[in-house]
A = this chain, B = another copy of it.
């Protein structure tokens, strides 16, 4: 079954890894948010894309949610001695990824081509596609004013309240041929348990992607979303605090409302099964299962559940 998953960072990467485990090689395409991308010490860094890449390659740091396992920090240490800012930590092996990308971008390759090359170099079975080749930069309006996403997320530890989001460059971006082809060939589309406002929303805002989803739905392809909020809390990141500061329900229901009109089946955790009637009242199907992925087997189990629930119609 050809599956397209839309993903941000950690939660999206885990479910993508589950899907990669249960699908045949070549069946999974992951479209990743690039709104978090940034330049660090001149290097093109793709936090969400790299988290997905490392997770699918089995080399992700198991505890941080970013970076590679078994890292060393020699480059960063020396940059600090040179007086450079070090709040955005890049491990030595991670820097090799960014140099691989830098060299190819400078040679004129598209980000999509580089992403596919990186996936091959790390032995990843799935296709990982940036949501767009043109740069999109998520900005958040906070109590401290407008901030670039990583300034808010990493440098200020997600402490300022978010009141608005904006995706700079989105009008000039477009679904790439690879993303458009994947959506056109999809038999199932999954919105991963990622932040709806700063991970999934920028992907859907890329001109052509929402239309691609709707086109797939008209062909009978189902769009399934998994809630990143469990028991009113985000498993990782600031999604719960954003729901609150944006004036939404801090719950799986609040997430489901964001996906109204786009999603056929909304999957939430068993602990939130009480919300199922209200989610269904939004005009979508709903189901509860165990959505917490504590290990590789847990990721595969949730992926298998999704395929089963989607097939059940």
Contacts and interface: CB of A to CB of B under 8 A. Distances in A.
B121 A100 contact: no
Given A82-B122, A121-B82, A75 B93 contact: yes
A74 B92 CA distance: 6
Contact of A92 (B42, B82, B92): B92
Contacts of A41: 99-100, 102-103
A96 B121 contact: no
Contacts of A100: 41, 79, 82, 84
A274 interface: no
B39 A106 contact: yes
Contacts of A118: 82
A96 B72 contact: no
Contacts of A42: 99, 102-103, 105-106
A96 B122 contact: no
Q: How many copies does the complex hold?
A: 2
A114 to B, nearest CB: 11
Considering residues A39, A76, A92, A97, which has the most beta carbons from chain B within 10 angstroms of its beta carbon?
Answer: A92
A247 interface: no
Contacts of A99: 41-43, 75, 79, 84
Contacts of A95: 75, 78, 95
A313 interface: no
A92 B78 contact: yes
Contacts of A93: 74-75, 77-78
A85 to B, nearest CB: 10
A83 interface: yes
20 contacts: A39-B103, A39-B106, A42-B99, A42-B106, A43-B99, A72-B92, A74-B74, A74-B75, A74-B93, A75-B75, A75-B93, A75-B95, A75-B96, A78-B97, A79-B99, A82-B96, A82-B97, A82-B122, A84-B100, A84-B103
- Lowest 4 A-B CB distances belong to which pairs? A42-B102, A74-B92, A78-B96, A42-B103
Given A75-B95, A79-B96, 8 more contacts: A41-B102, A74-B75, A75-B75, A78-B93, A79-B100, A82-B96, A84-B99, A84-B103
